[in-house]
Structure 1
Amino acid sequence: MSDHEEEKPEKEDSLEEEGSSSEEDGTDSEFDESDSEFDDPEGFVDDITDEELLGDLLKDKPMIETGFESVIVVDNAPKVGPERIERLKTVLNKVFGRFGTIVYQHYPVDEKNMFKGYFFLEFKKPEEAVNAVKTGNGYKLDKSHIFTVYFFSDFDKYKNLPKKFEPPKKTEFKEFGNVRSWLLDENCYDQSVVQYKEGSTVAVCQNTPHEIKIVTEREHWTETYLRWSPQGSYLATLHKRGVALWGGPNFERTGKFEQMNVQYIDFSPCEKYLVTFSNTVDDPNDPQNIIVWDTRTGARKRSFKREKSEEWPILKWSHDGKYFGRMTENLLSIYETPSFGLLDKKSMIIKGIRDFSWSPRDYNLAYWVPEHGQIPAKIIVLEMPSRNELSTKSRHLVSEFKLHWHKQGDFLAVRVDHFLNKSRKQLCYSLDIFHMREPLIPVDTIEIKEPVVAFALEPQGSKLAVIHGEPPLRIHTTFYQINKGGKPTQIKTLEILENTAVNNIFWSPSGQFVVLANLKGPESGHLEFWDTGSMTLMNSSQHQQASDLEWDPSGRYVVTSVSVWKQKMDTGFCMWSFQGRSLYRSPPSLDKFCQHQWRPRPPTLLAEEHLKLIKKDQKKYSHMFEQRDRTSKSKASKELLEKRKKMMSQYKEYRRKAEQEARKTKKMLIEDGVDVGEEGQAELDYEEETLYILVNETKETVNNNE
């Protein structure tokens, strides 16, 4: 035995002896098997999984990385020689660099230094690689080269496929319901969304003739505001972590889009894409705060960084969502979907561009540039995607242009603020009207001697309304008829006095009827309902302090509202007919009202000739609608009578039970010897007490110096 072994402590020797004896006996000195309370019964089978026991802990279990989660492979790139490889790398890095930070890249070449047409990219984060695969796959570089993108780890996955095929498990389909179910209502009632209680409660309502009917109501549905999609299929709510979409008869969540602190959202007209904007940047190395999403899959299609000079909406869409444009300093970039690449792979260099706007019906785009030296200011209309100039209008001494398209794309109205002479002291005003449906697109000009407060084109017609003058002294409203092949003619000028001044024009979606309103200043709330077919004032009314006005999609109703976001008192909304007759006001239950938004309707599926036939036979249908209205009124009266009858029945039943209880009480008092008197009232002794209740408490600070 060595010296080291001899010097072991006695206590340690004793522990070893105890341990050896325990091992020989097959028992534990401290926990004897015979006395243990932790044994499983005989035949016990443990069928509880780790996920059930430790589900909250296993989700944070560290994963073993293979090292290739951030690596992707891109195929079908152009095969070029060594003299063009560097230029191609620049283009490819620009395409895939928007998905994240590229930390490594490899472009294989053959023995002649010819690029093989595929390359490898490694991103900083696996999430960036996932985004690159989802969005980059199918990217069209040109007509002959459409990228195929996949993960590098897919090689091992497909290499080690099992010999025996096992069919994949069916994914349970989640049915959200018909996102346009409200259109099936037999009475064609429109829906709206109302936000109240200072934004904490949201209700989707149905606009019945005599009152508003709540379809669904939820608390804390949104954290800021909400918005309908352009065709009414989805309701978007904003939250701290992103945006959620809701649809179907029960308004189930159909999608969510994660971006912190979203401030603004916008939809493409086709509802396929959603644009979100946030000042908060998730990744400082990739400061993209404008994101375009696919509304159906939730995929992130493209991201942009906002420039300081850009104003919302930053991305402007064509009428069908096929193209969208973005204006930066001296550049107008047009992108096409679904590739989300630049149209023709290049932006248009337009020095000094100030604004642009798409036609609501065609692939026509208008923009304007200011004067530069001796070069006059210009309004230019382009045809996309060819970029051919359809029309150009030049003007000198221009201060500003304001573009406004006709809803059907028939006209482009431009408000022109220009100076009278080179001294640039006196401003003049005019309206340029581009006739988009006529050959060579002629331009007519309406000279207006006074400042233009507001102007608007009739949606389904050819009239133009202009509010002009010097507020608050005296302003006027003038209506013009835009004639085909001729100059616009003045229909009528309305002189409006100071106490009834208006500053907003709201055309009915179906045209002909218009509301002139004052929605600014302390005297806001004045409303005038006009029929421009006969130029008659149907009604003039008042909604004190009204801050918003909105027509319903059919043009039958108008809502004026006072938001708690504008003032704290007398909030709510009022429903009007298109003739200006007050129908009802929001109920007291919708207190601390915030906003009211009509649910948009999708474009009609009827052809133009069918719509004309319906308008021609309108009298034939009017009797049916009048009868339905009378039935609705009688039904409402019948419901009211039934409600009153039910209340009376409940009262009689309550009174019968009370009288029965009173008779029992009287009988008991008589049996106890209590004199109930002639009128049946017990003569009991009462003690009068005075009770003092503190109603309120006021504290005042007394100035000792006074």
Structure 2
Amino acid sequence: MENFDKTVEYPDLEEKYKVEQETGYDNYVVVIGLPIVEPAKKDKLFAYIKAKVSPVFAEAKDALMPFTDGKSHGALFVEFETAELANKFSKAADNFRFDKNHTLTANVMTEVDRIMNMEEEFKEPEMPEYEEKGNMKEWLLDELSREQFSFVSGNKLNVKWYIGDQAEIAFEQKNVDKYVWSPLGTYLAGRTQTHVVMCGGSGFKPVLTFHHPKVVSFEFSPMENYLITYSNSESEEYQTFVWDVRTGQKIRGFKGATSFKFSYNDEYVAKVHDKAVFVYKTETMELLEKKSIRMGEIADFEWSPVANIIAFWSRVEPNVPARIVLMKIPTREIIRSKNLFNVEKCSIYWQNKGEFVAFKVDKLQKKLTTFNLEIFKITEKDCPVEMIDLSSDISDLAWEPERSRFVTSTIVGRKTNLSLYELQNGSFKLIRTFERGLIHRVFWSPKGRFCIFAGHEDYDAITEFWDLNTDKSKIKMLISLACPSSGILWEASGRFIVSYCSSAKLKGSMGFKIYDFKGSLLYQEGVTEFSSFAWRPRPPTTLPEDQIKEIKKNLKTYSDKFEEEDRLRSDKAYREVVERRSRLKNEWFSWFNAAKKLWDESKSERIALFDGIDFDEAASNDSVLEDWNEVVIKETIEPYQPPNQ
């Protein structure tokens, strides 16, 4: 399949959108919007432009500022030796906020001349013909309610349908070494040398192409409205671009490949730069309130998963302690902050409902490193902070989804201590400690309760499936497996778990295994040059809470029905019938859409044929335009005449 290859390369774009420019004015820049000054203050104004607007101004060949009656006009004409310098200064000066009353506008003289000579009569641009993209949610209508997963083998992207012990190809694409699913599962984006292609709908047809050479990584915003691409090309002016997924338009570029993080609802995006947090309004990509958030030397931050709140921490500075802060955006109201001394490092862990956020703090005191947790209880009055001392460093902290429990893991030699904490009577209590083998990570089911303790890329590592029941007496290990892995991923419903191995040092184990939540092996596949396994995400359910409760109440009834369907599904003949029905349905819809298109295109001919009557409109309005009756006026009987022989 050629979905990722059927795109326009840069030479074609340059030829298609090439704009012929007039010559002679490329090295001149016009700047307006400057403060009105007297001749005596011109040199001071020029020095400010050089220092604050752009140092390129120092390389100007000439700069002319007109005066009338001892006052300037707020305009400046600048000449440079080359068009390259002129463009550089124009970009720096354009839209520069000089002060609270003055914002500059700058253009190269060629552009000004083009605007001045523009035709007065407006010519409406030709709109491209609308192209139907199809149903982007079609995969959710699968009759078997199957999941999809994806992985890369060599340089080929594979997408498969999956249920139980069966997997079949849904889509394949060569020359793709990196891809991502959008957070709601609507789109699949893959990378080529010069662009990122976004596909979706039936057959994963290309929807949009984002041209950005030498892209190294890319990611969607949580609500799929925006895409960020990062490159390592130092020859380009910008290395990071923010795109509008709905239109494919580039919103803004940034220098460097600084990592951005979106708020939960796509309203804001932020990054840490120059020891500060820069928050941008995504709709315009303008800096919030035209200024960054500065509170000491900010090292890192994380957005709340349910609100426009950021949690960040600043490093220790001379005579200034470290600080951990919760702040509302856009008001910048501080919900709660706490000063800490001797801090070396902080890690931030949000609970998925945004009720708690834990800071794991590393402190260095007299050559001894100590560790503790600072847990902010955001939904409680005045946002109290609880501190938990840790006996040693932890390699991971994982909150249970939807609940107020978390597990920490501490590696001691070739063993791991796992600690389960729960909120009881307003404070977190240690419920139980598990002393296990070599385990690095903790993975909660998306629905809570069930948990996996897993090692990482080590032949001695183990994977354990646990039932961490809220009743302490019913906590138990379901199964322990000796299977080294590179990662563990739960499927969104919590029914399936994949353990995959992509490490070169575990080459003989490359591939993946799929288990149910109890640890029973359902499906496995060995893959050479394996990498990048991912489940296709699903959007949140649209069922109201009362219907969900009703389904849980009658779960036994549904379970019997689904078990029968599972039994039938294993029957090859049944699968063939379902596939035939699906194929016939798709063929019928294909014929229907083609016929409807022909019918719509012939509408003007039908209206002309019926003397201007639009029967389509009449049918839609349920009205009768004419009533035809046949009446016999005269009847004649003639004898039969045989034809000539």
TM-score (norm 1): 0.68
2:377 maps to what in 1?
Answer: 435
The structure with the larger Rg is: 1
1:518 maps to what in 2?
Answer: 455
Find the partner of 1:171 among 116, 128, 131: 128
Which has the larger share of strand?
Answer: 2
Contact kept in structure 1, 2:450 and 2:517, CA below 8 Å: yes
Question: What are the residue-to-residue correspondences of 1:296-445 with 2, within 5 Å?
Answer: 296-306=246-256, 314-419=259-364, 422-425=365-368, 427-445=369-387
Displacement after TM superposition at 1:176 (Å): 1.9
Contact kept in structure 1, 2:278 and 2:287, CA below 8 Å: yes
CA separation of 1:291 and 1:61: change in aligned 2, threshold 3 A: closer
Contact kept in structure 2, 1:70 and 1:126, CA below 8 Å: no
Displacement after TM superposition at 1:208 (Å): 1.7
1:39 maps to what in 2?
Answer: none
2:196 maps to what in 1?
Answer: 243
Aligned partners of 2:394 and 2:460: how far apart in 1? 20
Aligned partners of 1:93 and 1:72: how far apart in 2? 20
Contact kept in structure 2, 1:238 and 1:262, CA below 8 Å: yes
Is the aligned partner of 1:580 residue 2:519? Answer: yes
Aligned partners of 1:476 and 1:392: how far apart in 2? 31
Find the partner of 1:492 among 432, 438, 457: 432
Q: What SS does the corresponding residue of 2:507 show, helix, strand or coil?
A: coil
Find the partner of 1:181 among 138, 145, 148: 138
Contact kept in structure 1, 2:400 and 2:444, CA below 8 Å: yes
CA separation of 1:642 and 1:293: change in aligned 2, threshold 3 A: closer
2:390 maps to what in 1?
Answer: 448
Q: CA RMSD in A?
A: 4.3
Find the partner of 2:478 among 521, 535, 539: 539
1:661 maps to what in 2?
Answer: none
Find the partner of 1:295 among 245, 257, 268: 245
TM-score (norm 2): 0.74
CA separation of 1:637 and 1:393: change in aligned 2, threshold 3 A: same
Q: Which amino acid aligns with 1:494?
A: F
CA separation of 1:61 and 1:575: change in aligned 2, threshold 3 A: closer
- Residue deviations 1:678-706, cap 9 Å, x none? xxxxxxxxxxxxxxxxxxxxxxxxxxxxx
Aligned partners of 1:434 and 1:61: how far apart in 2? 54
CA separation of 1:238 and 1:62: change in aligned 2, threshold 3 A: closer
Q: What SS does the corresponding residue of 1:495 show, helix, strand or coil?
A: strand
Which stretch shows the higher mean deviation, 512-521 or 116-125?
116-125
Contact kept in structure 2, 1:332 and 1:350, CA below 8 Å: no
Question: What are the residue-to-residue correspondences of 1:603-614 with 2, within 5 Å?
Answer: 603-606=540-543, 610-611=544-545, 613-614=547-548
Q: What SS does the corresponding residue of 2:538 show, helix, strand or coil?
A: coil
Contact kept in structure 2, 1:260 and 1:282, CA below 8 Å: no
Q: What SS does the corresponding residue of 1:541 show, helix, strand or coil?
A: strand
Aligned partners of 1:407 and 1:604: how far apart in 2? 16
Q: What SS does the corresponding residue of 1:260 show, helix, strand or coil?
A: coil
Q: Which amino acid aligns with 2:335?
A: L
Contact kept in structure 1, 2:150 and 2:160, CA below 8 Å: yes
Aligned partners of 1:597 and 1:191: how far apart in 2? 9
1:632 maps to what in 2?
Answer: 566
Q: What SS does the corresponding residue of 1:634 show, helix, strand or coil?
A: helix
CA separation of 1:467 and 1:65: change in aligned 2, threshold 3 A: closer
2:168 maps to what in 1?
Answer: 213
Displacement after TM superposition at 1:351 (Å): 2.8
Displacement after TM superposition at 1:453 (Å): 2.3
Gaps of 5+ in 1: 1-54, 307-311, 644-706
Aligned partners of 2:158 and 2:167: how far apart in 1? 11
Is the aligned partner of 1:65 residue 2:26? Answer: no
Aligned residues: 553
Contact kept in structure 2, 1:538 and 1:579, CA below 8 Å: no
2:157 maps to what in 1?
Answer: 202
Contact kept in structure 2, 1:548 and 1:562, CA below 8 Å: yes
CA separation of 1:432 and 1:638: change in aligned 2, threshold 3 A: same
1:477 maps to what in 2?
Answer: 418
Aligned partners of 1:144 and 1:542: how far apart in 2? 68
Contact kept in structure 1, 2:213 and 2:231, CA below 8 Å: yes
- Residue deviations 1:342-378, cap 9 Å, x none? 2111223333322111111111111112333443322
Q: Which amino acid aligns with 1:253?
A: P
CA separation of 1:640 and 1:252: change in aligned 2, threshold 3 A: closer
CA separation of 1:509 and 1:411: change in aligned 2, threshold 3 A: same
Q: What SS does the corresponding residue of 1:452 show, helix, strand or coil?
A: coil
Aligned partners of 2:374 and 2:571: how far apart in 1? 54
- Residue deviations 1:137-185, cap 9 Å, x none? 9x9x9899899999542443432x38xx8x7655211222222222233
Contact kept in structure 2, 1:244 and 1:256, CA below 8 Å: yes
Is the aligned partner of 1:593 residue 2:530? Answer: yes
2:180 maps to what in 1?
Answer: 227
Q: Which amino acid aligns with 2:401?
A: P
Gaps of 5+ in 2: 1-10, 578-645
CA separation of 1:155 and 1:442: change in aligned 2, threshold 3 A: same
Contact kept in structure 2, 1:257 and 1:298, CA below 8 Å: yes
Q: What SS does the corresponding residue of 1:481 show, helix, strand or coil?
A: strand
CA separation of 1:88 and 1:465: change in aligned 2, threshold 3 A: farther
Displacement after TM superposition at 1:279 (Å): 1.9
- Residue deviations 1:655-686, cap 9 Å, x none? xxxxxxxxxxxxxxxxxxxxxxxxxxxxxxxx
CA separation of 1:506 and 1:88: change in aligned 2, threshold 3 A: farther
CA separation of 1:339 and 1:128: change in aligned 2, threshold 3 A: farther
CA separation of 1:81 and 1:154: change in aligned 2, threshold 3 A: closer
Q: Which amino acid aligns with 1:450?
A: S
Aligned partners of 1:395 and 1:302: how far apart in 2? 37
Contact kept in structure 2, 1:102 and 1:124, CA below 8 Å: no
Q: Which amino acid aligns with 2:139?
A: W
Contact kept in structure 2, 1:464 and 1:482, CA below 8 Å: no
Q: What SS does the corresponding residue of 1:623 show, helix, strand or coil?
A: helix
- Residue deviations 1:181-224, cap 9 Å, x none? 2223344322221211x2x221221222221122112222x1x3
Q: Which amino acid aligns with 1:462?
A: S
Which stretch shows the higher mean deviation, 571-580 or 296-305?
296-305
CA separation of 1:343 and 1:232: change in aligned 2, threshold 3 A: same
Question: After TM superposition, where is structure 1 displaced by more than 6 Å over at least 4 residues in a row?
Answer: 60-63, 68-75, 83-98, 101-112, 116-123, 125-129, 141-150, 640-643
Displacement after TM superposition at 1:436 (Å): 0.8
Is the aligned partner of 1:623 residue 2:543? Answer: no
Contact kept in structure 2, 1:266 and 1:313, CA below 8 Å: no
1:40 maps to what in 2?
Answer: none
Which stretch shows the higher mean deviation, 290-299 or 408-417?
290-299
Aligned partners of 2:182 and 2:62: how far apart in 1? 41
Displacement after TM superposition at 1:379 (Å): 0.9
Aligned partners of 2:62 and 2:489: how far apart in 1? 54
Contact kept in structure 1, 2:458 and 2:485, CA below 8 Å: no
Q: What SS does the corresponding residue of 1:445 show, helix, strand or coil?
A: strand
2:216 maps to what in 1?
Answer: 263
Aligned partners of 1:271 and 1:143: how far apart in 2? 37
Q: What SS does the corresponding residue of 1:403 show, helix, strand or coil?
A: strand
1:703 maps to what in 2?
Answer: none
What is the identity percentage for the equivalent residue pairs of Structure 1 and Structure 2? Answer: 25
Displacement after TM superposition at 1:242 (Å): 2.7
Displacement after TM superposition at 1:340 (Å): 1.6
1:680 maps to what in 2?
Answer: none
Aligned partners of 2:536 and 2:100: how far apart in 1? 41
